[in-house]
């Protein structure tokens, strides 16, 4: 059922074009995965998400296991049926959220004890329980439970954390049962290139169906992320998909693809939409800006999304200022459309061996800014 094919490679960069076959359908890579934290891409119906061109979405193991609960979702037919999303789903391991949202009570070799950010209730997650939860959710791609290395951190801590992540990955691999579910390992090691490499080597030896580069913590400079990718990606198996977790802005996707990444996820398009920040080829539109009060144009002239075909900046600003629910939805439609179209264009450029020219054009449009009307 699971299969990854490498279809093309760009001549001048590490960018690559691939195809993943999952139990719930095909995913063309490089791909951006919208985030459906609590069993919904916020404000959008699954049909809308599908028609925007999303191929695969991400569900958050941490959130779903706390509410409504993995056993409950399994009884209700699994996450695909529960949220009426028929396509592929990737679930994260919950590691990142346990370390960023919950109150940690104890980290030991066996696992993590934490308190829920919702009601303070106490929970314990181990690599084995993490696998069990993801099996109950029934995602197409599961992630190994990892300790998300904090930043900044000492080299000693980063090493200990990375080594534990390797041991946990082995335990996840041992506990892995569902053969309709692929299991990805996560390369950790923080900002230390040699630790990342060591981690990649160890995980490669365990032969996982895919490999992720673990999220760098909030506040970490972007140059470090690119350096990590420059170091780690060449060491990952060529014939397995590579996933950069929790990234990012449009330029981060471009730079990730250029360094050989196949998969991305991020809350940026939907969260920023709800904050009134809209993406266009020339940069961001802050819809609450008073310059849009009487602007009859769509967010991005020429954009084919529902929002741009039907509504003016003036209307979208009005909805946003009036805190109307439709604002969050129309903004989310536009932003997701932008991200998904961007990745479609990336795939085409890689296929045609013109990714570097595409990338230059991407930055040129940013520099030139919004085209001036006649």
The residue ranges that bind its own copies (CB under 8 A) are: 38-40, 42-47, 67-68, 72, 75-77, 82-84, 293-294, 296, 306, 310-312, 314-315, 317-319, 321-322, 324-326, 328-330
**Residue 219, Cβ density class (10 Å: 0-12 exposed, 13-18 middle, ≥19 buried):** exposed
Contacts made by residues 18-22, CB under 8 angstroms, sequence distance 24+: 18/241, 18/262, 20/88, 20/241, 22/56, 22/88, 22/140, 22/141, 22/182
**Inter-residue contact 192 to 158 (CB < 8 Å):** yes
Which amino acids are annotated catalytic? 92, 265
Residue 2 or 306: which CB sits closer to its own copies? Answer: 306
* 3 state SS of 212: strand
Q: Nearer Cβ to its own copies, position 82 or 184? A: 82
* Gyration radius (Cα) of the chain, Å: 21
Please state, in angstroms and rounded to a whole number, the distance separating the CA atoms of residues 373 and 215.
41
Q: In the bound complex, what is the minimum distance in angstroms from residue 118's beta carbon to its own copies?
A: 9
| Closest distance of CB 70 from its own copies, Å | 13
Q: In what order do the strands lie in the sheet with 263-265?
A: 31-33, 263-265, 242-244, 210-213, 182-187, 141-143, 89-91, 57-59, 35-36
Residue 306's CB is within 10 A of a number of other CB atoms, namely: 16
- The β-bridge partners of 277 are 286
Least gap, CB of 130 to its own copies (angstroms): 21
Give the nearest distance from C-beta 303 to its own copies in angstroms. Answer: 15
- Residue 97 near residue 36 (C-beta atoms within 8 A): no
Beta carbon nearer to its own copies, 154 or 290: 290
Helix (H) or strand (E) holding 206: none
Q: Angle at CA 32, nearest 5°, toward 309 and 321? A: 45
- Shortest approach of its own copies to residue 247 CB, angstroms? 24
Cα–Cα distance between 87 and 26 in angstroms, integer?
8
| CA 283, 288, 292, 296 torsion-angle sign | positive
Give the shortest CB-10-to-its own copies separation in angstroms.
38
Of 83 and 187, the one with the shorter C-beta distance to its own copies is 83
**With respect to its own copies, which residue has the nearer C-beta, 212 or 273?**
273
Choice between 122 and 297, CB closer to its own copies:
297
């Amino acid at each position: 059922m699971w299969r990854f094919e490498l279809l093309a490679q760009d001549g001048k960069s590490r960018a690559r074009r691939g195809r993943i076959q999952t139990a719930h359908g095909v995913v063309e890579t490089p791909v951006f995965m919208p985030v459906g934290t609590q069993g919904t891409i916020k404000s959008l119906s699954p049909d809308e998400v599908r028609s925007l061109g999303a191929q695969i979405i991400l569900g958050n193991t941490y959130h779903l296991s706390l509410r409504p609960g993995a056993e409950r979702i399994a009884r209700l037919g699994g996450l695909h049926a529960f949220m009426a999303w028929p396509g592929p789903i990737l679930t994260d391991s919950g590691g990142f959220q346990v370390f960023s949202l919950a109150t940690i009570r104890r980290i030991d070799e066996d696992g993590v004890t934490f308190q829920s950010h919702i009601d303070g209730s106490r929970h314990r997650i181990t690599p084995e329980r993490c696998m069990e939860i993801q099996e109950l959710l029934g995602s197409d791609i599961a992630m190994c439970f990892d300790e998300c290395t904090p930043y900044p951190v000492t080299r000693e801590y980063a090493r200990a954390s990375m080594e534990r992540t390797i041991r946990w990955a082995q335990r996840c691999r041992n506990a892995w049962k569902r053969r309709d579910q692929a299991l990805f390992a996560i390369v950790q090691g923080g900002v230390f290139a040699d630790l990342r490499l060591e981690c990649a080597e160890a995980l490669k030896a365990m032969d996982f169906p895919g490999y992720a580069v673990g999220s760098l913590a909030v506040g970490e400079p972007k140059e470090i992320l690119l350096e990590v990718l420059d170091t780690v990606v060449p060491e990952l198996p060529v014939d397995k998909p590579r996933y950069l977790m929790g990234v990012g802005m449009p330029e981060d996707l471009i730079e990730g693809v250029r360094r050989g990444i196949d998969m991305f996820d991020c809350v940026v398009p939907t969260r920023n939409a709800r904050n009134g920040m809209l993406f266009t080829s020339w940069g961001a539109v802050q819809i609450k800006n008073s310059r849009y009060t009487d602007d009859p144009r769509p967010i991005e002239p020429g954009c084919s999304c529902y929002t741009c075909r039907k509504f003016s900046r003036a209307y979208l600003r009005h909805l946003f200022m009036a805190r109307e629910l439709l604002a969050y939805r129309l903004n989310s439609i536009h932003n997701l459309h932008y991200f998904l179209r961007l990745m479609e264009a990336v795939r085409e450029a890689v296929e045609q061996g013109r990714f570097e020219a595409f990338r230059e054009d991407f930055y040129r449009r940013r520099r030139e800014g919004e085209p001036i009307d006649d």
